[in-house]
Amino acid sequence: MVAFAGWSLPVQYRDSHVNSHLHTRQHCSLFDVSHMLQTKIFGCDRVKLMESLVVGDIAELKPNQGTLSLFTNEAGGILDDLIVTSASEGHLYVVSNAGCREKDLTLMQDKVRELQNKGSDVALEVMDNALLALQAQVLQAGVADDLRKLPFMTSAVMEVFGVSGCRVTRCGYTGEDGVEISVPAAEAVHLAAALLKNPEVKLAGLAARDSLRLEAGLCLYGNDIDEHTTPVEGSLSWTLGKRRRAAMDFPGASVIVPQLKSKAQRRRVGLMCDGAPVRAQSPILSPEGTVIGAVTSGCPSPCLKKNVAMGYVPYEYSRPGTPLLVEVRRKQQPAVVSKMPFVSTNYYILK
């Protein structure tokens, strides 16, 4: 167990990190992610509130559709990444990172007060639900709804293994076809026990979660993106809503939007590396041996049996296939810029 954002969280359970990782890819793992911040935003002006803080087009979301978005500051830096769902019950359901809990809450609560003082109809509620994440395939046995009608980044409220009032969102941080179940806290242990009765399902901890998300090319806030990284630098330009780009009406738009056409800044890239495993802070060098950037996340990929990493390099070095060097324990070893995800994702998308 390790301390994390005020919580005590499991790094791993009985199985080794690698076995747990591979079990997730081949079968199914249950992650307790109840440390994540869950909030609801109510009122006629809830979209106005959210769009004053994030880069995404929240107004265009259909009922029960969600999107990954980013809180940004006026300098264009990323304050946090979050998922915003337009719940058909008449509120926005927001899930953001535990490590940014106080910052995110202050940001949203201050904006709620500001808009209320101007006569806007908006309110915020912090949820005390637990949050369980696992692959979708094991859930069908415990719900009456047909999960084939619930594609990636949509959600619905349903009864799950006898627990009513659960919001099931089809999303995932492993790259697999996953769901997150927001469950009343008092029922969380009951639901977890019901899910674990399936022999396919095993508990997994933070170590597997980190290597799985890295294989899927997904960012960890505070490592791969932070307040000194813009969405364009972080290779997250796709989160910028088309209407929002044109209107330039989100925090930091005057910095972020011009970067879309500029090739001057650094970019987050994937790296495949030979030799010893590469870790965060390892220097990235040009083929000539000049330091040009740094690794932000890295580990041996249990699926590929190769070392994978993410890091930042100048734009001219960001093309997949570009040969580079990384420095590990003062030794230089070859690396190549690689497309991400490193391991193909299995998201359930309706054709």
CB burial string 115-154: b at 16+ within 10 A, e below: beeeebebbbeebebbbbbbbbbbbeebbeeebeebebbb
* Beta-bridge partner residues of 325: 285, 334
**What is the β-pairing status of strands 28-32 and 201-203?**
parallel
Order across the sheet with 66-72: list the strands. Answer: 66-72, 78-87, 91-96, 37-42, 123-126
* Beta-bridge partner residues of 65: 154
Residue 316 is assigned to a ligand binding site: no
CB atoms within 10 A of CB 268: 23
**Tokens, residue 108:** 């949203």
Could you identify the residue written with the tokens 């890239």?
269
Q: How many CA atoms lie within 13 A of 187 on its CB side?
A: 16
**Whole-angstrom distance, CA of residue 113 vs CA of residue 120:** 9
**What is the β-pairing status of strands 66-72 and 283-285?**
unpaired
**Nearest Cα to 71, choosing from 93, 50, 43?**
50
Write the CB contacts of 132 (distance below 8 Å, at least 6 apart in sequence): 30, 31, 32, 33, 34, 180, 181, 183, 188, 191, 192, 195
Report in angstroms the alpha-carbon separations of 36 from 22, 94, 96, 133, 254: 24, 10, 6, 11, 31
Report in angstroms the alpha-carbon separations of 298 from 89, 216, 268, 317: 41, 12, 13, 19
Q: Residues 280, 295: contact at Cβ < 8 Å?
A: yes
Bind-site residues for substrate: 180
